[in-house]
Amino acid sequence: MSLELILFFVLAIIAIATALGMLLSRSAVYSALYLVVNFVSVAIFYLLLDAPFIALSQIAVYAGAIMVLFLFVIMLIGLETLGGELNWRQLVWPLAMGILLLVQGVFLVIQRVGRDVYIGQTGTQLSDPSLMARVLFTDYLLPFQVTAVLLLVAMIGAIVLSKREKSNQEA
């Protein structure tokens, strides 16, 4: 069995297990944290697929920005009262999975960063982000601009929706 296969299976097991953990855990904070681990494992899948730029934006956008927003809202609303002592026995499985993910991630980064996959007659380098940028800014310019408008609309919508009314503020 090749190394790639072993990596795939371990990652798949971690991804499925954390997704199930997200589904089954009662507490919203734990659900969100399971989903963070799931997103990191999916990012390592992208490294396995020779898409390092996608992998790093997955970590920055999903595991970073989006999940922080989720945790922020969970804490803000105060759904959770995480009471009681920290039980060290509970930490064994998350710790094991986290260390496993870290080892795989570091291994793949070391293995893949130096590796160039060339395709086609002209020999374009697969993991080169500038190749993707050229396509994004030429062939897909219109979808890109529409995405920009979408983000602007979402930002305005979020501000308007979560803004307090003047009358509520005094009450």
Partner 1 sequence: MIPLSWYLYLSAALFAIGLYGVLARKNAIAILLGIELMLNAANINLVAFWRYTDPAQMAGQVFAIIVFAVAAAEVAVGLSLVISIYRARKTVIADELDLMKW
Is residue 5 near partner 1 by the rule CB under 8 A? Answer: yes
Is residue 153 near partner 1 by the rule CB under 8 A? Answer: yes
User: Which residue of 81, 87, 167, 168 would you call a contact of partner 1, by CB under 8 A?
Assistant: 168
Q: How far apart are CA 127 and CA 116, in angstroms?
A: 7
Q: Reduce the DSSP state of residue 116 to 3 states and report it.
A: coil
Closest-CA residue to 48 (of 12, 19, 8): 8
Is residue 22 near partner 1 by the rule CB under 8 A? Answer: yes
Query: If you write DSSP's letter for every residue of 15-63 in order, what string do you get?
Result: HHHHHHHHHH-SSHHHHHHHHHHHHHHHHHHHHHTT-HHHHHHIIIIII
Is residue 106 near partner 1 by the rule CB under 8 A? Answer: no
Q: How far apart are CA 162 and CA 116, in angstroms?
A: 47
* 65 token code pair: 């920005």
Cα dihedral 118, 47, 112, 1 in deg (nearest 10)? -100
Is residue 65 near partner 1 by the rule CB under 8 A? Answer: yes
Is residue 53 near partner 1 by the rule CB under 8 A? Answer: yes
Is residue 110 near partner 1 by the rule CB under 8 A? Answer: no
Minimal distance, residue 89 CB to partner 1, in Å: 26
User: Which residue of 70, 94, 98, 109 would you call a contact of partner 1, by CB under 8 A?
Assistant: 70
Q: Name the site residues for partner 1 (rule: CB under 8 A).
A: 4-5, 8, 12, 15-16, 19-20, 22-23, 28, 31-32, 35, 38-39, 42, 45-46, 48-51, 53-54, 57-58, 61-62, 65-66, 69-70, 73-74, 76-77, 79, 117, 119-120, 124, 126, 131-132, 134-136, 139-140, 143-144, 147, 150-151, 153-155, 157-159, 161-162, 164, 168
